[in-house]
Chain A
Amino acid sequence: DADVTQTPRNRITKTGKRIMLECSQTKGHDRMYWYRQDPGLGLRLIYYSFDVKDINKGEISDGYSVSRQAQAKFSLSLESAIPNQTALYFCATSDLQSLASNEQFFGPGTRLTVL
């Protein structure tokens, strides 16, 4: 089945380290997103991309960067991790060509802990 996958699923790192979270999808979707989830704050958009040449900041992009290496791959980097970036990170995709739905399909999530 077409799916959205994320690696790693869990990561513990130290303050100041560079971290990359990767997202791949086999759905053939053009649009990809990175969210972080914190208790009581819901899902907040970090960055999103509508195609390989398109990158846009979301609500909370400070301290993060992204790279859209291919239609199927969208990676999120923390250049210098800090403890308040400890969260659950989700990648999501949606289909530009679908007029019936703006549904987003989520990956399984990456739990990141910054000590």
Chain B
Amino acid sequence: GENVEQHPSTLSVQEGDSAVIKCTYSDSASNYFPWYKQELGKRPQLIIDIRSNVGEKKDQRIAVTLNKTAKHFSLHITETQPEDSAVYFCAAFFSGGYNKLIFGAGTRLAVHP
């Protein structure tokens, strides 16, 4: 069935280091892959997304890569800062039947000063 797996579940880094979160998806027809950031007590908000016709997308310190053959995509955060501490969710857009997003279980990122 439709599934998105996300790893790791928790990630702890020192300020200035890089952080990488990885996700795999089950449906090869998926064509849209967003990443959401949820700060403590707040709602999830989109930070970056990528479509299946692109292999990489970058926005300042964050980047997302997509490997369609392997059905996995990753979020890369460089030069991490304490304000990057949050829970990050990947998702995949499943087009079979009614279009809907399936989310990964989330990664809790802690950036230590």
Contact = CB atoms under 8 A, between A and B. Distances in A.
Contacts of A106: 43-45
B28 to A, nearest CB: 18
B73 interface: no
A64 interface: no
A83 interface: no
A42 B43 contact: no
Interface stretch (A65-73, A74-82, A96-104): A96-104
> Interface residues of B toward A: which range?
20 to 34
B89 A107 contact: no
Interface of A: 33, 35, 40-45, 48, 50, 56, 58-59, 90, 101-104, 106-109
Interface of B: 6, 9, 32, 34, 42-46, 49, 89, 93, 98-106
29 contacts: A40-B105, A41-B105, A42-B6, A42-B89, A42-B103, A42-B106, A43-B44, A43-B89, A43-B103, A44-B103, A45-B100, A45-B102, A48-B98, A48-B100, A50-B98, A56-B98, A59-B102, A90-B43, A90-B44, A101-B49, A102-B34, A102-B93, A102-B101, A103-B46, A103-B49, A104-B101, A106-B45, A107-B43, A108-B43
